[in-house]
Amino acid sequence: MTDDPKTPPPSAESLASSARKAGAKGPPPVHLWNPPFCGDIDMRIARDGTWFYLGTPIGRKELVKLFAGVIRRDGEDYFLVTPVEKVGILVEDAPFVAVDFNRVADGLEFVTNVEDRVVAGPDHPIRVVRDPVSGEPSPYVLIRRNLEALIDRKSFYRLVDLGEVDDVGGVAWFGVRSQGDFFPIIPAAELQG
């Protein structure tokens, strides 16, 4: 495989085959692989977490989980990476969606649409980005190596129900706590307005 524009990128089937081999003994170490870039593939992850190939939703959950295991973010771009190939894909927002969470010991454990589980805390922070025009929040939790999950609306509303006010840099913020860390959601002053 080369960067030659005449060489078409690999198909989803060949990527799946390589990913199966690479992940046969546990999570693939995609951060260690540096294969040649083979071009972009017509694969897209929609904001709601649906994976598309050639414009059609990928209906097999096992295949989506397989691809999710070999996704990597380099800068602002997303790639599917195997030991022998690297192809660009389009991610509309975040590669995963946090579809639920549960309280555990001293934290909040999130579950993604591809069944990853992480407890929010220092290694898996929650952040909220607000649209500058509408003010609409987009909450995220870090899943692994600079890959985030967009927290779905129902889970976000449940998080808000657990919220508390704390001082962050001299400003009162409303947010949630997990593993001893406080994650701000909105300035407390805006709750009263």
Span 111-141, pLDDT tens digits: 999 999 999 999 999 999 999 999 889 999 9
CATH of domain 12-91: 3.10.540.10
Amino acid at 38: C
Domain ranges of the chain: 12-91, 96-185
Confidence (pTM): 0.86
Q: For residues 88 and 22, what is the distance between their CA atoms, to the nearest angstrom?
A: 18
- For the domain 96-185, what is the CATH code? 2.30.270.10
Cα torsion through 92, 93, 97, 102, rounded to 10: -170
Residue 3 vs residue 20, higher pLDDT: 20
Given a cut of 50, is residue 41 above it in pLDDT? yes
Model pLDDT, residue 1: 40
Q: How does pLDDT run across 7-31, given as a tens digit for each residue?
A: 667 777 766 666 666 555 567 889 8
Are both 12-91 and 96-185 of the same fold?
A: no
Q: Which two tokens stand for residue 168?
A: 């962050």
Q: What is the pLDDT of residue 2?
A: 42
Phi, psi dihedrals of residue 19, rounded to the nearest 5°: -65, -40
Tell me: pLDDT of 181 over 90. Answer: yes
SS in 3 state form for the chain? CCCCCCCCCCCHHHHHHHHHHHCCCCCCCHHHCCCCEEEEEEEEECCCCCEEECCEECCCHHHHHHHHCCEEEECCEEEEECCCCEEEEEECCCCEEEEEEEEECCEEEEEECCCCEEECECCECEEEEECCCCCCEEEEEEEECCEEEEECHHHHHHHHHCCEEEEECCEEEEEEEECCEEEEEEEHHHHCC
Q: CA dist 131 to 49, 54, 134, 138, Å?
A: 20, 30, 6, 8
- Residue 27: predicted pLDDT: 75
CA separation for the pair 174, 22 (Å, rounded)? 43
